[in-house]
Amino acid sequence: MAYYYYYFLLLVLVATAAISEADAQTKLSKDFYSYSCPKLLLIVKNEVIKAINKEARIGASLLRLHFHDCFVNGCDASILLDDTKNFIGEKTAAANNNSARGFNVIEDIKAKVEKACPRVVSCADILALAARDSVVYLGGPSWEVGLGRRDSTTASRAAANNSIPAPFFSLSSLKSNFAKHGLSVEDLVALSGGHTIGLARCVQFRAHIYNDSNIDASFAKSLRSKCPRRGNDAVLAPLDHQTPTKFDNLYYKNLLVKMGILHSDQELLNGGSTSALVKKFAANKNEFFKAFAKGMVKMSSIKPLTGKKGQIRIHCRKVN
């Protein structure tokens, strides 16, 4: 009888160990590449700094790439894939076409990483690290980036069109979109603060400056001078008209005086809880930074491919 008891106990211990190992493989860890690619963090950081010094705007572009990647079937680097005969990718989706940028920077980083650690580090993890390092270098908060994501083997323009929030979204649409991805109202307002850096195209803010009433009249007039009712779709204007290459909380202060350049941004001041958060972040940069970092950790953990799912791409723009 004792033999069967100990045999049963051994089976339980083996099963528990197997479950623990499988569970560990599905969790992201900041130490994932500590032994397999110890110089990874330094390589990514140095390449991001080099890219931003060459073009300050690229920091915002890298942050946006990570955001648009995670909102479409999880953080799996699907946004980086070129179209193939088997699928139409996400680069030509409405939110990305002639807008998403920074692909070459990620490819350059990947090439450097491949030299140091061949076929070890995913493009999805490089995107997550590049977004964090961009924010930090531009004066924003840091956060712990969990690693261990793998890369998708497909992409979908249709999924991108259905998943990435649009600049014309109402507050209720924004809340619904973020909730669908497991993100709270505080995450929505904090992550929208990523618009404290970067530029927007005329086609993205035209309707707001001509049709909306919740915009400062002189601010709208100044934007109309460069963004006519028709044409000039690609003309750029800063999302934060004061410090577009510095990560700070002026984005929220602009919203309080009706100087949000996108309809979706100004919508945050259109509801009880979101309005309160806008005012809170405008008054206290540290509170914004803390909430932004927390939101980025949550967002970058959306449905990652781990374990044996997906692959480690050699080139980020194509499947192996």
CA proximity to 168, closest of 74, 82, 95, 227: 95
pLDDT at residue 12, as a whole number? 44
CB of 298 closer than 8 Å to CB of 183: yes
Report the Cα–Cα distance between both ends of the chain, in Å, rounded. Answer: 55
Beta bridge partner(s), residue 199: 238
Report the pLDDT averaged over residues 90-99. Answer: 94
The per-residue pLDDT for 251 is 98
Q: Which amino acid is at 149?
A: R
Q: Quick check: is 68 catalytic?
A: yes
179, pLDDT greater than 80: yes
Q: What is the pLDDT of residue 29?
A: 96
pLDDT band for position 271 (cuts 50, 70, 90): confident
What is the mean pLDDT of the segment spanning 235-262?
Answer: 97
Band of the pLDDT at 195, cuts 50, 70, 90?
very high
Q: Which pTM was predicted?
A: 0.91
How deeply is 92 buried, as exposed, middle or buried, from its count of CB atoms within 10 A (0-12, 13-18, 19+)? middle
Which of the four pLDDT bands, split at 50, 70 and 90, describes residue 2?
A: low
What CA–CA distance (Å, rounded) separates 243 from 196? 7
Q: What is the mean pLDDT of residues 150-159?
A: 97
In single-letter form, the type of residue at position 113 comes to: V
Confidence of residue 24 (pLDDT cuts 50, 70, 90): very low
Which is catalytic among the residues 68, 181, 208, 263?
Answer: 68
**Mean pLDDT, to the nearest integer, of 298-309?**
96
- Per-residue confidence (pLDDT) for residue 11, from 0 to 100: 47
CB atoms within 10 A of CB 37: 18
CA dist., res. 300 & res. 60, Å (int)? 16
Task: Give me the pLDDT at residue 272, please.
Answer: 86
pLDDT of residue 19: 38
pLDDT of residue 15 exceeding 50, the answer is no
In this prediction, residue 26 carries a pLDDT of: 62
Distance CA 210, CA 201 (A): 15
- Is residue 4 pLDDT above 60, yes or no? no
